[in-house]
Amino acid sequence: MAPFLSSLFCLATPQKPSLLAYPSALVPLHKSVKLQCQGPPDVGLYRLEKLKPREYQDQDTLFISVMEESFAGQYRCSYQNGSLWSAPSDLLDLVAVGVFSPPTLSAWPSATVSLGQDVTLQCKATIGFDQFALYKEGGLRLPKSLETWNPSNFPIIAVTPANSGIYRCYSFSSSTPYLWSHPSDPLKLVVTDLAQQDYTKVNVMRLCLGAAVLLLLVGILAEDWRSRKKLLVRRGRAIQRPLPPLP
């Protein structure tokens, strides 16, 4: 009976909703953001709440017209279907960006890396920040490696073409995890193929050799033309000499 009752309970329990931020959960100060709770159709009541401090509203949408530090934090939502409440959504971390000066982002040993090699992206900030986040343009936040002692280092092992792209990093303090710095200047990581590099070098050498042969042929033709011109001049002078007097 236990499995049967458990299946009935699962059927009766509403599925949890999803909570999304538009255009992004990383919100620059003084910009706008909309939080949207999404559940099944015909929901009777939505509840959207902020944790620490605990606040909530019985609506499916929260529109923040001007982002301030006080709005940063964790949010979740749920809904009521009949007499049953759904499980809460996954937590949404709403981050205020631009609270502090930007860090600097660099690549070691270089921002141009051969396929299969390792590279470390280093995010550096002023003293007082013990946490760093790295984002790839068009992608998600990249997790820090658990094997490194320095939280500002983001090692990428055996790079692939998918690792190429534009990166930025942020700095913040563990005591205020939802108040972040301005983003660093963008860093472009380029992953090159060694075979392609060798092929390119061969093509360059071929082009250089072809240009050298062409210059040599042009030089030979020019020298031949000059020699022919001198010969014509000499023949012309020979024809123009006066005839000797008659006896």
Average pLDDT over residues 224-230: 68
For residue 49, the domain's CATH number is 2.60.40.10
Model confidence at 226, in pLDDT bands (50, 70, 90)? confident
Domain range holding 185?
101-195
Range 65-88 average pLDDT: 95
117-126 residue pLDDT tens: 999 999 999 8
Task: Output 125-130 pairs: Cβ under 8 A, ≥24 positions apart.
Answer: 125/100, 125/101, 125/152, 125/171, 125/181, 126/101, 128/173, 129/100, 129/103, 129/171, 129/172, 129/173, 129/181, 130/173, 130/174
In a 13 Å sphere around the CA of 215, the CA atoms on its Cβ side amount to 6
- 16, part of any domain: yes
- First vs last Cα of the chain: how many Å apart? 149
Whether 60 is in a domain gets the answer yes
Greatest C-alpha distance within the chain = 149
For the stretch 12-25, pLDDT in tens is 678 899 999 999 99
User: pLDDT tens across 131-188, in order?
Assistant: 999 999 987 676 654 444 467 899 999 999 999 999 999 999 999 999 999 999 999 9
Q: Are residues 83 and 150 both part of a single domain?
A: no
Q: Does residue 107 sit in the same domain as residue 190?
A: yes
Average pLDDT on 28-33 reads 98
- Could you tell me if 152 and 134 lie in one domain? yes
Q: Which of 83, 98, 113 is the last residue of a domain?
A: 98
Average pLDDT (80-97) is 94
| Residues 6 or more apart in contact with residue 126 via CB below 8 angstroms | 101
Where is the domain boundary, 98, 118, 145? Answer: 98
Number of domains in the chain: 2
User: Within this chain, do residues 185 and 163 fall inside the same structural domain, yes or no?
Assistant: yes
Looking at the DSSP bridge assignments, the partners of residue 66 are none
